[in-house]
Amino acid sequence: MPSGKEMAMRIVAVALIGALLALAACAPTAQRRGARALDEQSQAPSAQAARWGYVGGKMVTRPDAAVKNTQDKAIYLNEHYSMTAYRIPVANGAYAVKLHFAETYEGIKDVGQRVFSVAIEGKTVLSDFDVFKEAGRERFAAVVKEFQVEVRDGELTIEFTPKVQNPEINGIELRAVHKGKPHGAALLINCGASADYEAKDGRIWRKDQEYQAP
């Protein structure tokens, strides 16, 4: 007959085995939850797509603009100008934001004729920004600016403040960031466009739309 000490050791061993089995059973569930959460994050930019959009401004298309510095000039043929913001409902977290610009307005012929600032989530990311100057004193030249931001209020907000002339933008790319790198599907907005557009790389740029407040 086992001693009291041996019985105690057996009880501890049985309890430990039971705990390990329970942990093993839970692991796949935890992995599935993690994968699902990551998948939800990767799809976050396109969530509530009916609501994202511009606030104010006007749209224009210049179909004959021969834009340089890009493999897909069609993105820059459409322009949204004089808007105050773009608002995009997303899950809270980190995001990579690319802003696409090209000066295609015939009224801009020199540095300083269109100057504006851009803030994302309340932080100024472009101050006294001059697309013409940034493109090397050229019209019809693409300029892309990329930033990583943190969203904590369920909505990514890009704000535009004019200084000279009106702010303008041609495209917005938004992707969730995981472990410091862009991850998953992107929301692509062709600012000023009246129809969706399939780029040469097969990605679909969404037509412009007005923001719908909740």
Q: What is the pTM of this model?
A: 0.78
Euclidean distance between CA atoms 182 and 95, whole angstroms: 7
pLDDT at 11 over 80: no
Amino acid 214: pLDDT: 84
Which domains are seen in the chain, by residue range? 42-207 (2.60.120.430)
Amino acid 117: pLDDT: 98
Structure tokens at 67: 């834009």
Structure tokens at 81: 């100008």
Amino acid 39: pLDDT: 42
**At 32, is the pLDDT very low, low, confident or very high (cuts 50, 70, 90)?**
very low
Model confidence pLDDT, tens digit, residues 195-212? 999 998 999 999 999 999
Stretch 184-188: mean pLDDT, rounded? 93
Amino acid 27: pLDDT: 42
Higher-pLDDT residue of 111, 25:
111
Q: What is the mean pLDDT of the chain?
A: 84
**At 140, is the pLDDT very low, low, confident or very high (cuts 50, 70, 90)?**
very high
Stretch 121-142: mean pLDDT, rounded? 97
pLDDT at 36 over 50: no
Instruction: Please report, rounded to a whole number, the percentage of residues in the chain having pLDDT higher than 90.
Output: 71
Torsion angles phi and psi, residue 33, rounded to 5 = -60, -45
List the end-to-end C-alpha distance of the chain, in Å, as a whole number: 73
Amino acid 40: pLDDT: 40
pLDDT at 139 over 60: yes
Higher-pLDDT residue of 10, 180:
180
